[in-house]
Homo-oligomer: A and B are copies of this chain.
Amino acid sequence: MAQPRTVAELAEFLGGVVQGDGAVLISGLAALENAGPESLTFLANPKYASKVAETSAGAVLMAPGGDRYGRTTIEVSNPYLGFAKLLTLFYTSPHEPAGVLPGAIVSDTAVIGTGVSIYPGACVGRNAVIGDRTVVYSGAVIYDNVTIGEDCTVHANAVIRERCRLGNRCIIQPGAVIGSDGFGYAPDGSGYYPIPQIGIVVLEDDVEIGANSCVDRAAIEVTRIRRGTKIDNLVQIAHNCQIGEDCMIVSQVGISGSTKIGNHVTLAGQVGIAGHITIGDNVLVGGQSGVTGSLPANAAYSGSPTIPHREWLKYSMVLPRLPELKKTVSTLEKRIAELEKSNLICQEK
């Protein structure tokens, strides 16, 4: 916990504007409902605007122009981002370098940067390179010839297999696996001949991989995840995929082999994506959707198989009324038969 600061100091730190009493002392952060007089809170979603009236917070971070309900506020254009920055300010401190600790198993051919921390029980293979200030926690296993950049964090029991390469500031959550063999077999008439997976995985700068997620190495070339992309827990990225920059891939998504994902793509939870297809930039795919073909850029899709999100919304609302619709059609069928019969009589008259 850091030392208390005045609302005015925090406003200056964020480049925001104080409304009310800039001298109020803030010692921590909390949600609207739980914040006390020494806490700062934030309003990002207009839906909760009226809660500002009720909060006990010492100050509220909010967008300019909202109703302050008489509270002391700091106005910033992006209160959610501001709150995130204050969380960093109040609650985090840079990892103190611990060096290579006793019990860490580091090959003497590994190249270890300065300011690193390698914890007991971590294993670093031959010719592996660990960049400056990178932290490798207990039980993480770095195979031979891996290269990890600067300021990375590799959490406990994560595995980086041979020859894979990580950029700077990557974060690998516990149990994630980078560079497992791609799922490639050639049917040989009776069973399956395993195709050697001789490629690698490259994670560019600022990529984050969630707990127990898996990124398979390419068959021949490179499975690549570009700068800034964030991947949640239990996600599967198959061999030869190319994932763009600044994507958000939510938990339990699975992407099949050789698929290309553009930049700024968001895949919601449990989405499944077929192999050998292309997803355009800025695409948004709704939760549990199944993508069986390429998707043009700048649009939202849902369903399994996916269609434009709006159309999916419409049909999924009608879906539960399907049995009723079927009944209506049966009734209509009878009424028409009746009409046809009497029409015949009518015509015969």
- State whether A191 touches B246 (Cβ < 8 A): yes
How far, in whole Å, are A161 and B325 apart by their CA atoms in the complex? Answer: 53
In A89-134, the 8 Å CB interface with B consists of 91-92, 103, 105, 119-121, 123
Please tell me if the beta carbons of B333 and A323 are within 8 angstroms of each other in the complex.
no
Query: Which residues of B have CB within 8 Å of A211?
Result: 159, 177, 180, 214, 216
With a cutoff of 8 Å between Cβ atoms, the chain B residues found around residue A190 in the complex are 246
- Tell me how far the C-beta of A57 lies from the nearest C-beta in chain B, rounded to whole angstroms: 13
CA distance A127 to B171 in the complex (A): 25
Query: Which residues of B sit under 8 angstroms from A345, Cβ to Cβ?
Result: 347
Q: How far is the CA of A221 from the CA of B35 in the complex (A)?
A: 12
The reply on A262 being an interface residue by CB < 8 A is no
Assembly CA distance A302 to B188 (angstroms): 26
Interface size on A, residues (CB 8 A): 117
Output the least CB separation between A160 and chain B (Å): 9
Q: Is the CB of A336 within 8 A of B339?
A: yes
Q: Is A141 at the interface (CB under 8 A from chain B)?
A: yes
Query: Per a CB cutoff under 8 Å, which of B30, B87, B121, B233 touches A141?
Result: B121
Which residue on chain B has the smallest CB distance to residue A31? B220
Q: A340 on the interface (CB 8 Å rule)?
A: yes
Among listed A7-15, A18-26, A63-71, A313-321, interface-contacting one: A313-321
A121-B123, A339-B340 known; A141-B138 Cβ under 8 A: yes
Proximity bits, A192-229, B CB within 8 Å = 1, else 0: 11111010000000101011111010011100000010
The CB with the most chain B CB atoms within 10 A, among A174, A220, A245, is that of A174
Given contacts A159-B175, A236-B234, A318-B322, contact A87 B183 (CB under 8 A): no
Query: Inside 8 A of A184's CB, which chain B residues have their CB?
Result: 84
CB–CB A193/B155 < 8 A = no
Q: Across the interface, do A328 and B339 meet the contact criterion of CB distance under 8 Å?
A: no
Q: Taking CB as reference atom, which chain B residue is nearest A232? A: B183
B78 x A105 contact (CB < 8 A): no
Report if A91-B196 is in contact (Cβ < 8 Å); known contacts: A123-B120, A332-B333, A339-B343: yes
> Judging by beta carbons under 8 Å apart, are B84 and A230 in contact?
no
In the complex where A174-B159, A230-B183, A248-B192 touch, is A314 in contact with B325 (Cβ < 8 A)?
Answer: no
The residues of B that contact A298 with a CB separation of less than 8 Å are: none
A213 vs B177: C-alpha distance when bound (angstroms)? 11
A27 contacts the other chain (CB 8 A): no
Residue in B139, B192, B234 whose beta carbon sits within 8 Å of that of A139 in the complex? B139
Q: With an 8 A cutoff between CB atoms, is A147 at the interface?
A: no
A329 touches which one: B85, B137, B307, B329 (CB < 8 A)? B329
- On whether the beta carbons of A212 and B214 are closer than 8 Å, the reply is yes
Whole-angstrom distance from the CB of A225 to the nearest CB of chain B? 14
* A29 at the binding interface (Cβ < 8 Å): yes
Provide the residues of chain B in CB contact with A180, threshold 8 Å.
155, 173-174, 210-211, 233
Residue from B121, B206, B290 within 8 A of A191 (CB atoms): B206
**4 smallest beta-carbon distances between A and B, as pairs:** A180-B211, A141-B156, A159-B174, A123-B138
13 more A-B residue pairs beyond the given contacts A84-B194, A318-B322, with a C-beta to C-beta distance below 8 A: A34-B221, A81-B186, A91-B196, A105-B138, A137-B143, A157-B157, A159-B174, A192-B230, A288-B288, A305-B316, A325-B329, A329-B329, A339-B339
